[in-house]
């Protein structure tokens, strides 16, 4: 406790994302600003207008999931279970914590949609022959419930579907459960695996995706360009990240390694448009200020902002306006991970929370990959090389369709 407030420690982290299948591999890729976008053969074969995406590199599933279980679950659930296993191994054991005091909070934007799409294509004409596991495989809450079942956790088991803010909301709400005394430990994060023909075609029809790199001679590595004057949309990706949150005093008592602390969280809604952000960034800025107030920090305490930075014209512009409203002329340096990872929808906020925690603890801000001509002006974007800002709190932002705004303040120990 600090001044009567329950502190929330991060004692475990696990990642399965385009930048890497471990925390350190992900950090190295992001720090080196190496884009992961590539042409996906299945999308090219389907002759879709956009054929590039950011996929999780191949890894061995066997240490994590048996073949029988793998057939019964969606790729979304599988990625979440793998990241969770790594996070729990990293955290070590929390001996003496009752199962009903350990919760699971997971964010996902599309849930089991990939499996539903596959079933519809394969069995649409003969639905009576669809696989028996179709319903539990495609439920949005399957990742969280499968995780709770695997480890016997019996605290709150909740799924957040707030579009691209899902992972951030899951982490923030899980931290609140610990603060309010409802949980001692929370296994939380976000996941999505939306790189399918239907989802890709849908986003392409909206002109939300970057068309750069899909045609002959194009370079996929240059497609995701957060806050760049030449940006033309985001690159869709897949991935999962899981954090183990723990009551600070319990973590200290058992001698756990503490990666950092969730010190602030807030969520607001633009109430403006189903896909476009409020142009003036006013509600997003309010979310930033509320998260800082929750952390008990002035804007000047923030070492840098890990921005949502989708690489779309409207979202980047609105986020820049929000940052100006929140910080004024003294805005801190800004980075955006999606230049490397692409947009993982519900997984993005969780992966970015892991990167933000590492940045806070190591004092290094990763550069924005591929961006060369910053726009709009006024942002202090970290470009070309990492920047040393010292060990300071980080504001991590997420904004989703429907006007969903969510912000976390993550601090070093």
Last residue of a domain, one of 253, 280, 304: 253
The total domain count for the chain is: 2
Please tell me whether residues 95 and 240 are part of one structural domain: yes
Please tell me whether residues 123 and 241 are part of one structural domain: yes
How is the chain split among helix, strand and coil, in percent rounded to 5? 40, 20, 40
**Quick one: which of 275, 277, 287, 88 has its CA closest to 168?**
287
**Res 127: pLDDT:** 85
Give the torsion through C-alpha atoms of 295, 299, 305, 310, to 10 deg: 100
**Structural domain contains residue 63:** yes
Catalytic: 269?
Answer: no
Please tell me whether residues 291 and 379 are part of one structural domain: yes
Catalytic: 308?
Answer: yes
Burial class (CB in 10 A: 0-12, 13-18, 19+), 275: middle
> Which one of the listed residues 54, 287, 343, 407 is annotated catalytic?
343
Return d(Cα 243, Cα 168) in angstroms, integer: 11
Please tell me whether residues 303 and 230 are part of one structural domain: no
The 10s digit of each residue's pLDDT in 4-28 is 789 999 999 999 999 999 999 999 9
**Quick one: which of 368, 366, 410 has its CA closest to 392?**
410
Please tell me whether residues 211 and 278 are part of one structural domain: no
**Res 216: pLDDT:** 78
CB 396 within 8 A of CB 351: no
The parent domain of residue 35 ranges over 8-253
Please tell me whether residues 185 and 39 are part of one structural domain: yes
Length of the chain: 413
Please tell me whether residues 278 and 212 are part of one structural domain: no
Sign for the CA dihedral angle at 311, 352, 319, 160 comes to positive
> Which one of the listed residues 105, 259, 304, 308 is annotated catalytic?
308
**Res 121: pLDDT:** 87
**Res 217: pLDDT:** 75
> Which one of the listed residues 54, 164, 287, 407 is annotated catalytic?
164
**Structural domain contains residue 69:** yes
Taking residue 277's Cβ as centre, other Cβ atoms within 10 Å add up to: 28
Please tell me whether residues 28 and 161 are part of one structural domain: yes
**Structural domain contains residue 2:** no
**Res 2: pLDDT:** 47
Any residues with CB less than 8 A from the CB of 125 and at least 6 apart, and which?
A: none
Please tell me whether residues 177 and 318 are part of one structural domain: no
Last residue of a domain, one of 226, 253, 280: 253
CB 162 within 8 A of CB 140: no
Please tell me whether residues 402 and 306 are part of one structural domain: yes
pLDDT < 70 stretches in the chain:
1-3
Tell me, what CATH number does 350's domain have?
3.40.47.10
Cα separation of the two ends of the chain: 14
Please tell me whether residues 285 and 388 are part of one structural domain: yes
**Structural domain contains residue 407:** yes
Catalytic: 123?
Answer: no
Angle between helices 75-91 and 113-123 (to 10 degrees): 150
CB 170 within 8 A of CB 160: yes
Please tell me whether residues 242 and 300 are part of one structural domain: no
**Structural domain contains residue 260:** no
Burial class (CB in 10 A: 0-12, 13-18, 19+), 68: exposed
**Structural domain contains residue 3:** no
**Res 93: pLDDT:** 75
**Res 1: pLDDT:** 42
**Quick one: which of 156, 109, 165, 108 has its CA closest to 291?**
165
Preceding amide of 376 cis, omega within 30: yes
**Structural domain contains residue 291:** yes
Q: What angle do CA 398, 171, 65 make, to 5 degrees?
A: 110
**Structural domain contains residue 275:** yes
């Amino acid at each position: 406790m600090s001044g009567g407030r329950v502190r929330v420690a991060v004692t475990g982290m696990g990642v399965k994302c385009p930048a890497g299948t471990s925390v350190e591999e992900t950090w190295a890729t992001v720090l080196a600003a190496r884009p992961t976008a590539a042409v996906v053969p299945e999308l090219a074969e389907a002759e879709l207008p956009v054929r590039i995406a950011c996929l999780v590199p191949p890894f061995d599933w066997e240490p994590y999931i048996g073949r029988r279980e793998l057939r019964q679950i969606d790729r979304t659930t599988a990625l979440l279970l793998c990241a969770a296993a790594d996070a729990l191994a990293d955290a070590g054991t929390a001996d003496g914590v009752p199962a009903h005091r350990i919760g699971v909070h997971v964010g996902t934007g599309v849930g089991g949609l990939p499996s539903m799409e596959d079933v519809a294509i394969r069995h649409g004409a003969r639905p009576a022959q669809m696989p028996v596991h179709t319903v539990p495989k495609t439920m949005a809450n399957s990742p969280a419930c499968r995780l709770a079942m695997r480890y016997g956790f019996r605290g709150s088991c909740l799924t957040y579907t707030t579009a691209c803010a899902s992972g951030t909301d899951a982490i923030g709400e899980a931290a609140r459960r610990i603060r309010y005394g409802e949980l001692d430990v929370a296994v939380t994060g976000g996941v999505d695996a939306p790189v399918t023909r239907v989802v890709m075609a849908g986003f392409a029809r909206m002109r939300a995706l970057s068309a750069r790199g899909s045609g002959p001679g194009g370079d996929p590595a240059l497609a995701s360009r957060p806050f760049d004057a030449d940006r033309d949309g985001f690159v869709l990706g897949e991935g999962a990240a899981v954090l183990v949150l723990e009551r600070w005093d319990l973590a200290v008592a058992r001698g756990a390694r503490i990666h950092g602390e969730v010190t602030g969280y807030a969520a607001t809604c633009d109430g403006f448009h189903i896909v476009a952000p409020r142009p003036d960034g006013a509600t997003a800025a309010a979310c930033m200020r509320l998260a800082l107030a929750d952390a008990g920090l002035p804007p000047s305490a923030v070492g840098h902002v890990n921005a949502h930075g989708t690489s779309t014209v409207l979202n980047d512009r609105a986020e820049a306006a929000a940052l100006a409203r929140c910080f004024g002329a003294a805005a801190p340096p800004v980075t955006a991970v999606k230049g490397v990872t692409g947009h993982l929808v519900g997984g993005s906020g969780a992966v970015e929370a892991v990167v933000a925690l590492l940045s806070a603890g190591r004092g290094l801000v990763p550069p924005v990959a591929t961006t060369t001509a910053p726009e709009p002006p006024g942002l202090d974007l970290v470009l070309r090389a990492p920047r040393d800002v010292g060990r300071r709190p980080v504001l991590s932002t997420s904004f989703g369709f429907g006007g969903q705004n969510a912000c976390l303040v993550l601090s070093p120990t």
